[in-house]
Structure 1
Amino acid sequence: MAGFRWWFMAVLVVACWMKGVAGQARQQQAPAIWVFGDSLVESGNNNFLRSTARADFYPYGSDYYRGPTGRFSNARTFSDILGDWLGIAAPPPFSDPTAAGNRIMGGVNYASAAGGILDETGQHYGDRYSLNQQVVNFETTLSQLRTMMNPESLNQLLSNSIVVMVFGSNDYINNYLMPNIYATSRTYTPTAFANLLLNRYSRQIEALYSQGLRKFFLPGIGPLGCIPNQLATGQAPPGRCADSVNQMLGPFNEGLRGLVGQFNGGSHPGATFVYGNTYGVFGDILNNPGRYGFTVRDKACCGFGQGQITCVPLETPCFNHDQYVFWDAFHPTQAANGVLAQRAYSGTTNDCFPMNVQQLAQVRPM
């Protein structure tokens, strides 16, 4: 009985601590969150598109209270958890017919699996929303909001909202690193390709700024050479990542950080841009997995472990989900997404530059 009482008290302490964290997360720090990006943050847009890049089947959503929703995870994505920290409920996917009226007041998720900065990226998967199309979709939402709010209230909503943009990974995985389908690697050096991406990216960020958005969180690309999909290509020595892949990401990440500094330099009055060091944070998880409770860092929980694929419908995944860094060959588990979101929300300047998302939410646009 003494052992049981000790165990019960330990569980009670942990439960109280979790309740405190949840209470902190429920304190709303921004009126809305607008999510643009790819499958790392998608919440179900591709369910409504003619696309083979979908996650609306088990074992996706194995640990999510709604089951499979189109999220490429066992439960919540990075943006879902970041929204929790900000006290904002996960916004509905743009394609969902019910995403209208009061449901869009807290933001909308435009992210689409296989979508990239370049329009052609991921075209072998069928329909998807590229960055350009996602911006067009946002303008559609804006037209709806204009019928629901007066101009001053809408301006306040937009200028105080948090914008999360997660792009770039597909432009490498589903474009540059597929020379049999796309010509980009034969046309551009890694530096020239990064410059092409950043040029297109900056144009659409400008477009969103011109519509009234003022608080942007722009994460860089993680170490793609370390994901199970790339490990399975045989380019990496046993126990190591594909360094050639990771090295080609440097110009993009460095360029994006430079772009953030440039945008914050006075060319965009009233706006604040934050760069997220995804590469560094995810690298820390992979280099020190035990610090975060992970025991498996080089195999996926589903998709047959160290393979090149996503989960297979009705496949039985690994048993200990939270001990795996990767859910499938491309995407993190909810546990890994939780680390990324926490570091984005309250991390140091090594994680976010020039401030973290918590501080970004406190900025008052001029």
Structure 2
Amino acid sequence: MTNFRVFLITLFFVLLTITNFIPKKLEAATTRAFFVFGDSLVDIGNNNYLATTARADSPPYGIDYPTHRPTGRFSNGVNLPDLMSQYMGFSEPTLPYLSPELTGQRLLLGANFASAGIGILNDTGVQFVRILRMFQQFSMFEQYKQRLSVEVGADEANRIVDEALVLITLGGNDFVNNYFLTPVSARSRQFTVPQFCTYVISEYRNILTRLVELGARRVIVTGVGPLGCLPSQLATRSINGECVDELQQASQIFNPLLIEMTKDLNTKLGYDVFIVANAYQMNMNFINDPQNFGFVTSKVACCGQGRFNGVGLCTPLSSLCPNRDVYAFWDSFHPTQRALGFIVEAIFNGTSDLMSPMNLSTIMAMDNNI
């Protein structure tokens, strides 16, 4: 990739971020609502309001956000749901459900219920103390629908939820912050890796079934990424800097089971409610060939300390790279804003190996013709 092409790609994402985060007049009547559930990859600040250690509300988080201040996003700037909102042309990003600003007409745009540290299993993330596990996120979604009904009436509220787009991102923490958290964990004593994957998928099926019961009709489900390639895992488990086989194998077992499970759900429901994003391959594309995407490294995190900057938390005392756009990973677990841009591009326009059964642009075109 030439330096000029890298410059153009970087400029595109910078301009997209700036222009789309300028406040605009709400256009609730024509905007599709967007609901987000899951973990730190999609949390935009709910954990700011909780007594938890899983938080990103201090510098240098947010250094490249339009305000240059931390927002609770585990990113140097915007994150996955922000970029998806921009790509879809939404009038402004959804707010965290716990934000006091989520009132009135803003409710019509949807809400983000995600909470860093959670997993599919309720025992995932216990070390983070108070976080919003999935049953709590769903309880808040029910509260949201009641509030929306007060605002626009029950029939209109049902229509908004029925026509909304939903994003759910879960699973990674069940491995890195549960099964593989310690050399011998309670879950690793209970299950082999394949058995654990099967068990977690069965629990995920219950979550997705409940999401449909609550009114979701179009749901983007992201698979787990290449967990063995995270800077945190390179720092603690890799001898030579290569991705950790055991965690990579867990991802490779889990993701096909996820596709199989969602296909079965779609068959039973009679149409494609669930669309699975192959986050593993989307990430591996730039992890395997970082220079082709304009990155100087896909191993070392921009913010951190220790080997690969993958030890501990990103804090004001951490080593911080001067140019986040040439790093694939922001901290020990999360991609940079620019890396997420490539993932969002794949979600919207990816081929069948990346999006199953179809990409989001196709889904949106179908929905617009209904």
Q: TM-score, normalised by structure 2?
A: 0.88
Residue equivalent to 2:352: 349
Does residue 82 (structure 1) correspond to residue 84 (structure 2)? The answer is yes
**Structure 1 residues 61, 221: CA separation in 2 closer, same or farther (over 3 Å shift)?**
same
Does residue 69 (structure 1) correspond to residue 71 (structure 2)? The answer is yes
- How far apart, CA to CA, are the structure 2 residues paired with 1:98 and 1:182? 40
Residue equivalent to 1:279: 280
- How far apart, CA to CA, are the structure 2 residues paired with 1:30 and 1:342? 21
Paired letter, 1:364:
D
* Contact 1:224 1:246 (C-alpha < 8 Å) held by counterparts: yes
- How far apart, CA to CA, are the structure 1 residues paired with 2:317 and 2:100? 27
Q: CA deviation at 1:182?
A: 4.3
Residue equivalent to 1:100: 103
Residue equivalent to 2:94: 91
Which shifted more, 320-329 or 174-183? 174-183
Residue equivalent to 2:262: 260
**SS of equivalent residue, structure 1 residue 218:** strand
**SS of equivalent residue, structure 2 residue 304:** coil
Residue equivalent to 2:331: 328
Residue equivalent to 1:146: 149
Q: CA deviation at 1:181?
A: 8.3
- How far apart, CA to CA, are the structure 1 residues paired with 2:186 and 2:363? 39
Deviation per residue, 1:64-87 (Å, 9 max, x gap):
013100000100111110111111
Does residue 52 (structure 1) correspond to residue 47 (structure 2)? The answer is no
- How far apart, CA to CA, are the structure 2 residues paired with 1:22 and 1:61? 17
- How far apart, CA to CA, are the structure 2 residues paired with 1:274 and 1:30? 21
Which shifted more, 128-137 or 179-188? 179-188
* Contact 1:310 1:330 (C-alpha < 8 Å) held by counterparts: no
Q: CA deviation at 1:152?
A: 3.2
Residue equivalent to 1:137: 140
Equivalenced residue count is 350
**Structure 1 residues 164, 60: CA separation in 2 closer, same or farther (over 3 Å shift)?**
same
**Structure 1 residues 285, 30: CA separation in 2 closer, same or farther (over 3 Å shift)?**
farther
RMSD of aligned Cα (Å): 2.6
* Contact 1:71 1:77 (C-alpha < 8 Å) held by counterparts: yes
* Contact 2:309 2:319 (C-alpha < 8 Å) held by counterparts: no
- How far apart, CA to CA, are the structure 1 residues paired with 2:181 and 2:71? 28
**SS of equivalent residue, structure 1 residue 98:** coil
Q: CA deviation at 1:151?
A: 3.4
**SS of equivalent residue, structure 2 residue 258:** helix
- How far apart, CA to CA, are the structure 2 residues paired with 1:191 and 1:180? 17
Residue equivalent to 2:310: 307
The residue correspondences of 1:1-366 to structure 2 (distance < 5 A) are 31-66=32-67, 67-88=69-90, 89-179=92-182, 182-233=185-236, 235-265=237-267, 267-269=268-270, 272-304=273-305, 305-313=308-316, 315=318, 317-364=320-367
* Contact 1:300 1:326 (C-alpha < 8 Å) held by counterparts: yes
* Contact 1:231 1:306 (C-alpha < 8 Å) held by counterparts: no
- How far apart, CA to CA, are the structure 2 residues paired with 1:40 and 1:164? 11
* Contact 1:257 1:275 (C-alpha < 8 Å) held by counterparts: yes
* Contact 2:303 2:309 (C-alpha < 8 Å) held by counterparts: no
Q: CA deviation at 1:359?
A: 1.7
**Structure 1 residues 313, 306: CA separation in 2 closer, same or farther (over 3 Å shift)?**
closer
Deviation per residue, 1:122-157 (Å, 9 max, x gap):
111111111221111111111111212233322321
* Contact 2:251 2:280 (C-alpha < 8 Å) held by counterparts: no
- How far apart, CA to CA, are the structure 1 residues paired with 2:183 and 2:291? 39
* Contact 2:119 2:173 (C-alpha < 8 Å) held by counterparts: yes
Deviation per residue, 1:206-233 (Å, 9 max, x gap):
1121122100100100001001100011
Q: CA deviation at 1:269?
A: 4.1
Paired letter, 2:35:
W
* Contact 1:162 1:361 (C-alpha < 8 Å) held by counterparts: no
* Contact 1:160 1:361 (C-alpha < 8 Å) held by counterparts: no
**Structure 1 residues 96, 181: CA separation in 2 closer, same or farther (over 3 Å shift)?**
farther
* Contact 1:30 1:361 (C-alpha < 8 Å) held by counterparts: no
- How far apart, CA to CA, are the structure 2 residues paired with 1:18 and 1:125? 36
Paired letter, 1:246:
Q
- How far apart, CA to CA, are the structure 1 residues paired with 2:245 and 2:125? 23
* Contact 2:302 2:309 (C-alpha < 8 Å) held by counterparts: no
* Contact 2:61 2:73 (C-alpha < 8 Å) held by counterparts: yes
